């Protein structure tokens, strides 16, 4: 597997990116199991909603950024068997190795590429659709991550993003915060590395609001930017169309 490309500005990016890579590397073997347990298997539905939002048609080329263990790429291939190409990229080799190992159980062939979301190794307008699920929050400069996704998507193509968010209602927000801050680290600590699952609520808390994400998407060259709340708003689905 090729090494991740990296030529972003040297503003501490490499050190912080290395920490994120190492963290995901340390939980890669338990990632799918914990995803299912922590989301009570809802994560499949959320990814299916993301894939529907991409409006895939036969002959299209699709990119899954921050692909991790590959479930968005596989869901895309399942939903539209006539795709011309499905590419999944991530900068954590351990996650991509799990994705590669899962390939045999899926009918669609995915090309896995080790790459940084901030320096995607593709020419502009290569893809008809581009997705990122639960990844943009971890990218050191998310606005630049969206700009890269928009760059590699052709005009008229859809960029879709699934990310954790904060429910609009106060009661639901308090309930979700309690779950994220208490139950997730406890479950993560039982089955994997607790530190990685304390990072999860921290990174969700630090991440931008719905409005800020939509603004980042518009600024990156996307039009018709929309957000849909899933799971009471604890998960947000964003879509935009490349201008
Ligand atoms: C929470 S996982 C999500 C994986 C997958 N998309 C899913 O839906 O399960 C986040 C992934 O983003 C990747 N990631 C974070 N920052 C990245 C970057 N700058 N470039 C490429 N991958 C990155 C991590 O390695 C990790 O695999």
What are 132-142's pLDDT values in tens digits? Answer: 999 999 999 99
Cα 162 to ligand 1 centre (Å)? 12
Cα 26 to ligand 1 centre (Å)? 13
φ/ψ bin of 58: left (φ > 0), alpha (ψ from -120 to 50), beta (otherwise) = beta
Cα 144 to ligand 1 centre (Å)? 15
For the chain, the structural domain boundaries read 13-242
H or E segment to which residue 229 belongs: strand 222-230
Select 13-242's CATH number: 3.40.50.300, 3.30.470.10, 3.40.50.150, 3.40.50.2300: 3.40.50.150
Between the alpha carbon of residue 45 and those of residues 72, 88, 182, the distances in Å are 11, 19, 24
The model's confidence at residue 10, banded by pLDDT at 50, 70 and 90, is low
Query: Which of 30, 96, 135 gets mutated to test ligand 1 (max ligand atoms within 8 A of its CB)?
Result: 135
Residue 56 reports pLDDT greater than 90:
yes
Q: Three-state DSSP class for 84?
A: coil
**Contact of 53 with 157, CB cutoff 8 Å:** no
Looking at every residue in the chain, the average pLDDT score rounds to 91
Cα 201 to ligand 1 centre (Å)? 16
Residue 3 reports pLDDT greater than 90:
no
Q: Which residues pair with 230 in a beta bridge?
A: 235
Q: Could you tell me the pTM of the whole model?
A: 0.92
Token code pair at residue 16? 């912080």
Query: Which of 31, 32, 90, 120 gets mutated to test ligand 1 (max ligand atoms within 8 A of its CB)?
Result: 90
The model's confidence at residue 17, banded by pLDDT at 50, 70 and 90, is confident
In the chain, % of residues over pLDDT 90 = 72
* Alpha helices in the chain, H assignment, sequence order: 13-38, 43-53, 71-79, 93-102, 142-152, 170-178, 184-191, 194-206, 210-219
């Amino acid at each position: 597997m090729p090494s991740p490309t990296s030529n972003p500005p040297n503003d501490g990016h490499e050190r912080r990116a290395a920490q994120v890579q190492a963290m995901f590397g340390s939980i890669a073997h338990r990632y799918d199991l914990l995803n299912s347990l922590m989301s009570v298997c809802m994560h499949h539905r959320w990814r299916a909603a993301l894939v529907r939002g991409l409006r895939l048609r036969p002959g299209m080329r699709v990119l899954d950024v921050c692909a991790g263990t590959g479930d968005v790429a596989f869901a895309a291939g399942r939903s539209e068997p006539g795709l011309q190409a499905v590419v999944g990229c991530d900068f954590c080799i351990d996650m991509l190795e799990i994705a590669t190992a899962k390939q045999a159980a899926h009918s669609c062939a995915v090309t896995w590429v080790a790459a940084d979301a901030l320096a995607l190794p593709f020419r502009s307008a290569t893809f008809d659709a581009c997705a990122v699920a639960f990844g943009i929050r971890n990218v050191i400069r998310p606005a630049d991550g969206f700009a890269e996704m928009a760059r590699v998507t052709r005009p008229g193509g859809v960029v879709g993003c699934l990310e954790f968010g904060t429910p609009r209602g106060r009661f639901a927000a308090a309930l979700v915060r309690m779950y994220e801050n208490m139950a997730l680290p406890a479950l993560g600590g039982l089955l994997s590395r607790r530190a990685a699952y304390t990072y999860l609520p921290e990174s969700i808390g630090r991440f931008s609001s719905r409005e800020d994400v939509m603004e980042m998407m518009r600024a990156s060259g996307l039009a018709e930017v929309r957000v849909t709340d899933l799971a009471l708003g604890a998960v947000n689905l964003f879509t935009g169309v490349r201008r």
